[in-house]
Structure 1
Amino acid sequence: MQIYEVRLEPSALKELERLSSPWMEKVFVRVEALAINPRPPGCKKLRHSEEEWRIRIGDYRAVYIIDDENAVVEVTQDSSSTRPDRRRQMYEVRQVSV
């Protein structure tokens, strides 16, 4: 079994730090678990992208890219791939970007 390195873009880390303590811990635990299994049950490949995946953590979503060749999972944030975020906000950002 290959172990992946999990990286958080600075903007994703900043958003994670804005969450309340209980949510921050839940999101962080799920994101760190991607090192063992980057495609856990319930993860979904995003339709608009060849490389982006998302996991659901309660009302939040974490969007990430898997690089199997280099064994890296990178949690991302920008206008097309959002941070761990509330679902409605995530899809509003995506709709504006189109």
Structure 2
Amino acid sequence: MRCYSIHWKKSAVKELKKLDKGIIPEIVNSVNDLAVDPLPPGCKKMRGSLQTYRIRKGEYRIIYSIEHEQLIIHVIRVEHRKDIYEKFNP
């Protein structure tokens, strides 16, 4: 089975650090799970983008893109569901 590498954008890391400390390990675990299964059950494709998806973790959303040829996942945004879509522009 192929394993993807995870690359975090600097802005996604900054957003992650601003979140509630209790949810951070859960979000990091969910992102790490993407290395084995980049399209887990419940993931949704983002409109207007070819390889951008989102997964839910409670009240939070993780937006990421996949480069299948290079086996790379780019974590783009991590934020509360009420805020994440306002600033996202594919």
User: TM-score, normalised on structure 1?
Assistant: 0.84
- Measured in 1, the distance between the counterparts of 2:85 and 2:7 equals 23
Amino acid corresponding to residue 92 of structure 1 in structure 2: E
| Residue ranges of structure 2 left out of the alignment (5+ in a row) | none
Runs of 4+ in structure 1 deviating by more than 4 angstroms, as ranges, are none
Give the share of equivalent positions with the same residue, in percent. Answer: 38
The alignment status of 1:88 with 2:65, answered yes or no, reads no
> Aligned residues, how many?
89
- Measured in 2, the distance between the counterparts of 1:56 and 1:74 equals 16
| Counterpart contact for 2:19–2:79, Cα < 8 Å | no
Which one has the bigger strand percentage?
A: 2
Aligned to 1:65: 65
Higher RCO, Cα 8 Å, sep 6+: 2
- Measured in 2, the distance between the counterparts of 1:39 and 1:53 equals 8
Deviation string, structure 1 residues 38-70 (Cα, Å, up to 9, x no partner): 000000111121121000000110000000100
1:91, CA displacement in angstroms?
A: 2.6
Amino acid corresponding to residue 87 of structure 1 in structure 2: R
Aligned-pair RMSD on alpha carbons?
1.2
